[in-house]
Structure 1
Amino acid sequence: MTPENASESGNGSRWSNLDRPPLNVPALRRALLVPGGLWTSLDIVPETGSTNSDLVARAADLEEGAVLVAEEQTAGRGRLDRSWTAPARSGLFFSVLLRPGADVPEERWTWLPLLAGVAAATGLARAAGVDMFLKWPNDLLVKVEGEERKTGGILAERASGGAVVIGIGLNVTLRADELPVPAAGSLALANAVSTDRDPLLRAVLRSLEQWYGDWRAAGGDPGLSGLQAAYAAGCATLGRTVRAQLPGDRSVTGEAVALDGAGRLVVATGNGERQAISAGDIVHLRGSD
């Protein structure tokens, strides 16, 4: 179900690519901004540099539950300051603002990007009908012709007033010739049953609301909320031989065996030691399946 990508016309009309229509703002607001719900505002802009940067800058003036969506990001960011760009309306590029401090100790906020991964994967699996996998700590994977490909990423950033901004970028209709790197993928390339972005966005935000609510109600406890087990069940990194590229040009190679209570990846090395990785770039080594 990979749509043909009609070329953009010179007048810059938002309807110039009918295979990639704009999101339906009024319908999304009716569906998501409900009394007593988490989401308090939803804005969609035609283009911005980074939805995360925009929400971080405005955090002091926003209520919890603000959602900002961009039809196109020109300076989207991932972990380690990697860029994230894609054709207009070819994906979902959005950020949400959360304030967990009233119910969750700050030391448990490290679970928020992992929570967003579980929520996105479960929501997309239902709405797009495609198997989703998690690569620790913040990548969303699909299989394209039997090969794992990154189709999405998550970035969590602290903001003023005890806020956390979580950004999600997802490739939806990218064709093979539009992929930024060969290892990337999209829902369309994974043969998703639907690439309609409106129900996909609704599914992810509703799933995120449910998982965040359960996690907050459990005081951020990853075990009691079911988050730790859910992440482990969907994580393609666990049970694999990995190389963790650590700050300071160091690396650790071994088997990824568990997630600890802080959401760190536990790697068992060849000398019998176990090392908890809190930050690093994880490479799944071939031959480790």
Structure 2
Amino acid sequence: MTEADRPRRSGLRGFGHAGPSPWTDLDRPPLDAEALRRDLLVPGGRWTALDVVEETGSTNSDLTARSREGEPEGAVLVAERQYAGRGRLDRAWSAPARSGLFLSMLLRPTVPRERLGWLPILVGVSVAATVHRVSGVSVGLKWPNDLQVEIDGEERKLGGILTELTGEAVVAGLGLNVTLRADELPVPTAASLALAGAEVTDRATLLRALLREFAELYGEWQGAAGDPQASGLLPAYAARCTTLGRQVLVQLPGDRELRGEAVALDTDGRLVVRTADGSRQAVGAGDVVHVRPEPRSA
């Protein structure tokens, strides 16, 4: 893909096109792509390209297309607004412009293929560690790919992760609500860093810290050939996982359900559920519902 073929980047260019100005909401300034490149595209570093577009349908779809054209590992695509973002099971996902971080990373991991299931977990650990360090907000990780915060004793969704395999590459997408206001929440169970009381909600600061954190953890994981224990990924995830040790209802493909206690992750990153009869079943895909314990009768 040539530079002329890339989607238009944010900044002064493009102010004449139809659509709202990036400065219509002064609490949500646009990202400065050139400043981000100066900080993140360093010789010998993980990141090789960084583009910020004013809007696109899906950063995952755009970066997948670039991967098929031979884009090398390390490309990052950030959108100020996504109008056709996708979650798991192709669910639609969108948010107001510049209200969060909506990005995808192009990776070409050299680990055994069966260990690629750890990539969304790696992204989640990177986000949780970064957000807590930068903004002071504790982020929980609901298996397999939800980011959660607790507000008034309730677990609420802060964002999500979607990784997609395309040939020998993996595109890892992230949506993180940063300054979403209460009246902008798509559902009452959603949340944002601002609503969770974050000390820092500057998206550029969060993005720099996140990409540096992920690059470090990804390098350690690759150096350990994707081994989650040797790389430290498994204990880091277990410490933040809100699913382990809980009673769960897993909605499986084919309208099947699995009930039991989430007791572990296996070596491929699958959730291990212990059912009422004591048997264990590993789940690689499915919607997980945390089931509240039944109150004991007096």
What is the TM-score with the length of structure 2 in the denominator? 0.91
| SS of residue paired to 2:60 | helix
Looking at structure 1, the residues matched to 51 and 278 of structure 2 have their Cα atoms a distance apart, in angstroms, of 51
Is 1:58 the counterpart of 2:27 in the alignment? no
Using the TM superposition, give the Cα deviation of residue 58 of structure 1 relative to its aligned residue in structure 2, in angstroms.
Answer: 1.1
What is the TM-score with the length of structure 1 in the denominator? 0.93
Q: Are residues 220 and 147 of structure 1, via their aligned partners in 2, closer, same or farther at CA, if it must alter by over 3 Å? A: same
Stretches of structure 2 lacking an aligned partner (at least 5 in a row) = 1-17
Q: Which has the higher contact order (CA 8 A, sep 6+)?
A: 1
Stretches of structure 1 lacking an aligned partner (at least 5 in a row) = 1-9
Looking at structure 2, the residues matched to 175 and 126 of structure 1 have their Cα atoms a distance apart, in angstroms, of 22
Looking at structure 2, the residues matched to 42 and 125 of structure 1 have their Cα atoms a distance apart, in angstroms, of 24
Is 1:44 the counterpart of 2:52 in the alignment? yes
Q: Is the 8 A contact 1:120 1:204 kept in 2?
A: yes
Using the TM superposition, give the Cα deviation of residue 16 of structure 1 relative to its aligned residue in structure 2, in angstroms.
Answer: 1.1
Using the TM superposition, give the Cα deviation of residue 288 of structure 1 relative to its aligned residue in structure 2, in angstroms.
Answer: 7.5
The letter for the 2-side match of 1:127 is V
Q: Are residues 67 and 288 of structure 1, via their aligned partners in 2, closer, same or farther at CA, if it must alter by over 3 Å? A: farther
Is 1:142 the counterpart of 2:149 in the alignment? yes
Is 1:182 the counterpart of 2:188 in the alignment? yes
The Cα offsets for residues 138-173 of structure 1, whole Å up to 9 and x where unpaired, read as: 00001122211111100001123x110000001001
1:72 pairs with 66, 81, 91, which one? Answer: 81
Q: Percent identity?
A: 65
Partner of 2:29: 21
Partner of 1:124: 131
Moved over 4 A (4+): none
Is 1:264 the counterpart of 2:263 in the alignment? no
Is 1:247 the counterpart of 2:249 in the alignment? no
Using the TM superposition, give the Cα deviation of residue 287 of structure 1 relative to its aligned residue in structure 2, in angstroms.
Answer: 2.7
The letter for the 1-side match of 2:268 is A
Pairing of 1:143-182 with structure 2 (within 5 A): 143-160=150-167, 162-182=168-188
Partner of 1:223: 229
Partner of 1:82: 91
Q: Is the 8 A contact 1:115 1:212 kept in 2?
A: yes
Looking at structure 2, the residues matched to 144 and 31 of structure 1 have their Cα atoms a distance apart, in angstroms, of 34
Looking at structure 2, the residues matched to 19 and 12 of structure 1 have their Cα atoms a distance apart, in angstroms, of 15
The letter for the 2-side match of 1:138 is N
Superposed CA RMSD: 1.3
The letter for the 2-side match of 1:49 is G
Looking at structure 2, the residues matched to 149 and 287 of structure 1 have their Cα atoms a distance apart, in angstroms, of 18
Looking at structure 2, the residues matched to 125 and 287 of structure 1 have their Cα atoms a distance apart, in angstroms, of 29
Using the TM superposition, give the Cα deviation of residue 11 of structure 1 relative to its aligned residue in structure 2, in angstroms.
Answer: 6.4
Partner of 1:5: none
Q: Is the 8 A contact 1:52 1:166 kept in 2?
A: yes
How many residues in Structure 1 have an aligned counterpart in Structure 2? Answer: 277
Q: Is the 8 A contact 1:241 1:288 kept in 2?
A: no
Partner of 1:4: none
